[in-house]
Structure 1
Amino acid sequence: MNVSRAVIRQFATSNVAKSGGEVHKGYLKMKDIQQKFQVPDGKPVFLKGGAADQVLYRLTVLLCLGGIGGMGKLFWDLSVPKSE
């Protein structure tokens, strides 16, 4: 039974634990980015990326409102007969 545990532990142990604690630089950079998104500042996650995220969000909202307005105009034009 001890041999099976040793074999399972061999496959279940991560490479970080085997390497003595050395962590790849890309992993540390990813952890820093994750920390930026975990700050409890009241902003939703999709706006925490900076000014570019806010511009894209506002552009999306404007396009959606424009589409809804266009649909309203279309419904009005189709439902109200033109007087000639």
Structure 2
Amino acid sequence: MWKMDVTKKVLEAIQRHRSDGCLPNAPISPRSLMYTYGTDEEFWEIVADLEKEFGITFDGDEVMDMGEMTVRSFIELVVKKVEKQKGDQGV
């Protein structure tokens, strides 16, 4: 269940910071590359939101590679980070 919550929060962060010029509520495709929805500047904003939301951290290489990931791959990365963080806290 928590994975769906993480997925929802990731999609909300992408939606909030997207700069693709689509209508504000246009659906985000899990198969699209992250570059479809923004540039490195927007990615840093998305990452900042997610780090604050979940208490996770991204390294610079992950952010620099983010644009070439699909949305689905990025969500999976965030889920793994949250899962690791939960495990580190013994939750």
TM-score normalised to structure 1 length: 0.30
Answer 1 or 2: which has greater helix percent.
1
Larger Rg: 1
State the structure with bigger RCO (CA 8 A, min sep 6), 1 or 2: 2
